[in-house]
């Protein structure tokens, strides 16, 4: 259905644009480079025949595919983000095409001996005989979420070229800054005008997700006192040792590497330390709202306990909620999951309904009044040098988009 070579070319044209976001700038978009892909998408959407193509002052790109049927069909939307993660460089991406994958090791970079191996990444075995797009081992790929953009644009182009497929009005949006948790912050839900939407920001083919972590970020600042170490007895306070006590006092097995499914965690992802001050950056995650609140309390209580031990405030914590579990907003509209599930089946994809161990723009958008479950985009090993995406998974994701549009029209016409 979706032309394979055209899809590959489109995907390559997106991932080779440098769009890494930056959590430190306090601007939207957080990096000027995201405008490059935004403007490229504006032109492409116009060229394929989309209507009402707009770009606002924050680089949110929106467009419309008008309805081709009579009746009161609800407006639906499809959303993907343009930025790539600041966790690993997305500059100078050089995608590599592996045709008819043989199931063996893939040498990403011979010079640096970087190998994508099924011994380490077991799911590779599922894609034997397919076409894979990988990195060259020095950057991430950007399938998160340029695969999603590729699939949406390809699906819209197909619907435009095949007017015999019935569909209602469809809105699409490509937004900045999802990777730093800000993709939905300046998303104009009223302007978008959809009754519900789907993000294409998942991983393995078949994933369909409508519940996610409740999420918060915590900044732990630990204060010390520096004097000459030769005269330090009873005076010097080393903030790094206090920080170590804090780290070791949190539940060691409640971390990402020891949890799965709906199990929550504390994740220490950054440390900057000197004697005078150490700063710890954590994310806190839990699917259960009560457990989520309890995790925040554990950190605050631990800080109080350590401060009491020192007889003064040596630790201060700032915790900010980031997003919540979209399930409570999607469950009253379960027909939008049922439509997607049926679309999967009709294009030959087995639905895998499971919770997201993370978040998408859809979580925040759901709480802004736009229920927004998540569809697979097909990629694996996001945010690193071993990222790859099977082209056949991308084709199927685009087919799912087309079929959702068709089924929505059918359901509401019936």
Query: DSSP characters for 346-410?
Result: HTT---EE--BSS--HHHHHHHTT----EEE---BSTTSTT-EEEHHHHHHHHHHHHHHHHHHHH
What does the alpha-carbon distance between residue 391 and residue 379 come to, in Å, rounded to a whole number?
Answer: 9
> Considering 20, 44, 83, 177, which one is annotated as catalytic?
83
**CA 90, 91, 92 angle in degrees (round to 5)?**
120
Six token digits for residue 334: 């379960």
Alpha helices in 50-188 (DSSP H): 143-161
Residue 178 catalytic? yes
Is residue 270 within 8 Å of 280, Cβ to Cβ? yes
Distance CA 264, CA 295 (A): 9
310 CB neighbour count, 10 Å cutoff: 12
The dihedral through the CA atoms of 376, 26, 322, 339 has a sign that is negative
Q: Cα–Cα distances in Å, from 147 out to 60, 143, 225, 262, 361?
A: 18, 5, 49, 26, 16
Q: How far apart are alpha carbons 414 and 410 in whole angstroms?
A: 6
Answer yes or no: are the C-beta atoms of 27 and 92 closer than 8 Å: no
Q: Is the dihedral of CA 137, 142, 148, 151 positive or negative?
A: negative
Is the four-CA dihedral 255, 259, 260, 263 of positive or negative sign?
A: negative
| Closest residue by Cα to residue 55 from 27, 75, 34 | 34
Furthest C-alpha separation in the chain: 85
SS3 assignment for 128-150: CCCCEEECCCCCCCCHHHHHHHH
Choosing from 177, 178, 211, 392, the catalytic residue is: 178
Of residues 82, 65, 232, the one with CA closest to residue 148: 82
CA distances from 102 to 128, 130, 143 (A): 6, 8, 22
3, 21 contact by CB (below 8 A): no
Helix (H, G, I), strand (E, B) or coil at 264: coil
Catalytic residues: 83, 178
């Amino acid at each position: 259905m979706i032309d394979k070579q055209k899809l590959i070319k489109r995907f390559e044209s997106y991932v080779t644009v440098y769009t890494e976001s930056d959590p430190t700038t306090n601007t939207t978009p957080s990096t000027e480079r995201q405008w490059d892909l935004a403007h490229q998408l504006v032109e492409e959407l116009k060229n394929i025949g989309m209507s009402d193509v707009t770009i606002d002052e924050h680089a949110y790109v929106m467009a419309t595919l008008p309805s081709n049927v009579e009746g009161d069909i609800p407006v639906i939307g499809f959303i993907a983000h343009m930025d790539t993660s600041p966790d690993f460089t997305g500059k100078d991406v050089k995608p590599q095409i592996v045709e008819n994958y043989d199931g063996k090791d893939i040498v990403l970079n011979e010079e640096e001996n970087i190998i994508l191996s099924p011994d380490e990444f077991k799911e590779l075995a599922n894609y034997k005989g397919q076409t894979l797009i990988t990195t060259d081992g020095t950057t991430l790929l950007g399938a998160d979420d340029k695969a999603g953009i590729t699939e949406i644009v390809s699906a819209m182009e197909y619907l435009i070229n095949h007017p015999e497929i019935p569909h209602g009005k469809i809105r699409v949006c490509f937004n900045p800054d999802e990777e730093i948790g800000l993709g939905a912050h300046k998303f104009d839900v009223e302007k978008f005008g959809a009754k519900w939407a789907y993000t294409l920001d998942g991983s393995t083919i078949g994933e369909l997700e409508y519940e996610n972590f409740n999420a918060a970020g915590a900044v732990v600042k630990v204060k010390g006192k520096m004097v000459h170490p030769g005269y330090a007895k009873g005076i010097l306070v080393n903030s790094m040792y206090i920080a170590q006590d804090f780290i070791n006092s949190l539940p060691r097995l409640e971390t990402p590497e020891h949890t799965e499914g709906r199990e929550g965690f504390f994740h220490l992802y950054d440390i900057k330390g000197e004697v005078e001050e150490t700063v710890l950056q954590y994310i806190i995650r839990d699917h259960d709202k009560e457990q989520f609140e309890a995790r925040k309390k554990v950190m605050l209580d631990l800080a109080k306990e350590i401060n009491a031990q020192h007889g003064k405030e040596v630790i201060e914590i700032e915790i900010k909620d980031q997003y919540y579990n979209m399930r409570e907003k999607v469950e009253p509209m379960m027909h939008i999951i049922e439509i997607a599930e049926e679309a999967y089946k009709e294009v030959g994809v087995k639905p895998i309904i499971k919770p997201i161990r993370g978040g998408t723009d859809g979580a925040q958008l759901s709480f802004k009044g736009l229920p927004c479950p998540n569809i697979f985009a097909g990629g694996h090993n996001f945010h690193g040098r071993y990222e790859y995406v099977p082209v056949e998974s991308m084709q199927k994701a685009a087919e799912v988009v087309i079929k959702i549009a068709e089924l929505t029209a059918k359901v509401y016409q019936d």
